[in-house]
Amino acid sequence: MTRGGLGENLDGVLVVTDGKISWVGSETDLPSIPSAEEYDAEGAWLLPGLIDCHTHLVYAGCRAHEYEARLCGTTYQEICNAGGGILSTVQATREATEDELFQVSFPRLMDFVSQGVTTIDIKSGYGLTLESELKMMRVARRLGSDYTMDVKVGLLAAHTCPPEFTGRADDYIDYIINEILPVVAEQNLADYVDAFTETVGFTPEQTKKLFTAAQRYGLPVRLHADQLSNLEGASLAADFMALSADHVEFTSEESVAKMANAGTVAGLLPTAFYFLRETQLPPIEELRKHSVPMAVSTDCNPGTSPSTNLLLAMNMASTLFGLTPVESLLGVTINAAKALGIQDKVGSLEVGKQADLSLWKIDHPRDLVAKITAPRLKQSWKNGRLI
């Protein structure tokens, strides 16, 4: 780490061999490499390919009418309790065929590609039956490609209780554990298990039962925690050594300390905070004090964060939550990689990692955070190949 915590190098050279970074350093130290093909960045800034570690980008339908209703005074929780919210997207997503779901999701993925994003998380959670959850995860897997984007998939069947199980959330958790989880594990469709612990989601007890089952399949866990109230979700996540606890607006310092011990990343989702016009800020000072890594993501979803704009999320993390520009940049690179458990493969420009790179026509990396402009991406590379 040098100036500003980013390890800036003003005459840097990066060598790629077989899709991986094989050398990084200053031009003066560059060893001679016979028959190497050269690319002159012409003074542009080379950064790791960006990572969005929390999205729900596979979905059908639109929820703009709910935004309108919220502006007239209805709360998100009231909309959910009246059968709208997540359940309205569930209905549209169930009705879509697998191909239709792919077709509506692909342009959203391309929005991320155009911002230099080379790894993304996509969660299920708008199907809530075995077949429709599998459909969502197959679409998510299909969106991934060695040429553009690594997709990490989260099983979020515990997003909300589906209509078939109204009033029987415990039975639905058993259904996930007995009917969905074994098939997902067998077909290798998920990289981790996620849940929504909230008054409009599941109780900590139900979440624990699900996470215990996930561990039996060797699947790591992540959690939507403490977004709208403090149900001690982040503390529960830490008990299960979760990769990340996301949202964390209502998380207490005690839970933050537990996250630090467990190595759990705090996933900050400022666009959802903004779009829901929330007022409770996440405990940034406490996260800093306990050295909990902070990731920054779009939370791209149709209800609380209809955004594919990761650069805007970075700006919001700094403007609304007070992250320094360096913290916001780390939030979409190495800390996002940690939230996905792949920090040994991506997230920084280090020898041995995938050559996932983004090149920017900017004066300084802080410009990506400090300006709200269209992306100034010049080029990006996936596994060393030009996208």
Question: Which residues of this protein are in contact with ligand NIG, per CB under 6 A?
Answer: 85-86, 89, 196, 224, 227, 272, 299, 301-304
| Residues forming a β-bridge with 158 | 195
In whole angstroms, how close is the CB of 233 to Fe ion at the nearest point? 13
> Of Fe ion, ligand NIG, none, which one does residue 209 interact with (CB within 5 to 8 Å by kind)?
none
The one segment of 175-183, 299-307, 323-331, 356-364 that binds Fe ion by CB under 5 A: 299-307
Closest CA to 155 of 84, 222, 80: 222
Give min distance, CB of 353 to ligand NIG, in A.
Answer: 28
Give the amino acid at 41. A
Q: Which residue, 52 or 299, is less far from Fe ion as judged by CB?
A: 299
List the x/- string, 311-350, binding to Fe ion by CB under 5 A. Answer: ----------------------------------------
Return phi, psi of residue 80, to 5°. -60, -45
> Concatenated DSSP letters for 291-330?
T--EEE----BTTTB----HHHHHHHHHHHH---HHHHHH
Query: Chain-centre distance of CA 123, in angstroms?
Result: 9
Integer Cα distance of 133 and 146 in angstroms: 24
Which of ligand NIG, Fe ion, none does residue 347 bind to, with CB < 5 to 8 Å depending on kind? none
Looking at the Cβ atoms of 220 and 303, the one nearer to ligand NIG is 303
**Nearer Cβ to ligand NIG (47/272):** 272
Judged by beta carbon distances under 5 to 8 A according to partner kind, the member of ligand NIG, Fe ion, none in contact with residue 287 is: none
Closest distance between Fe ion and the C-beta of residue 222, in Å?
A: 10
CB atoms within 10 A of CB 17: 13
Q: Minimum distance between the CB of residue 345 and ligand NIG, rounded to whole angstroms?
A: 25
On the CB side of 263, CA atoms within 13 Å amount to 10
State the Cα–Cα distance between residues 324 and 318, nearest whole angstrom: 6
Stretch that binds Fe ion, among 41-49, 135-143, 175-183, 292-300 (CB under 5 A): 292-300
79 in Cβ contact with 319 (< 8 Å): no
- Give least dist CB 214 to ligand NIG, A: 18
Q: Which amino acid is at 176?
A: I
- Closer residue to Fe ion (CB): 301 or 318: 301
Query: Shortest gap between Cβ of 269 and ligand NIG (angstroms)?
Result: 6
Nearer to Fe ion, 226 or 299 (CB): 299
* Minimal distance, residue 347 CB to ligand NIG, in Å: 22
Phi-psi region of 120 (alpha: psi -120 to 50; beta: other; left: phi over 0): beta
Q: Let me know if 369 is exposed, middle or buried by CB neighbors in 10 A (0-12, 13-18, 19+).
A: buried
Chain residue at closest Cβ approach to ligand NIG? 303
Identity of the residue, 85 or 220, whose beta carbon is nearer to ligand NIG in the bound complex: 85
Contact residues for Fe ion, defined by CB under 5 A: 299
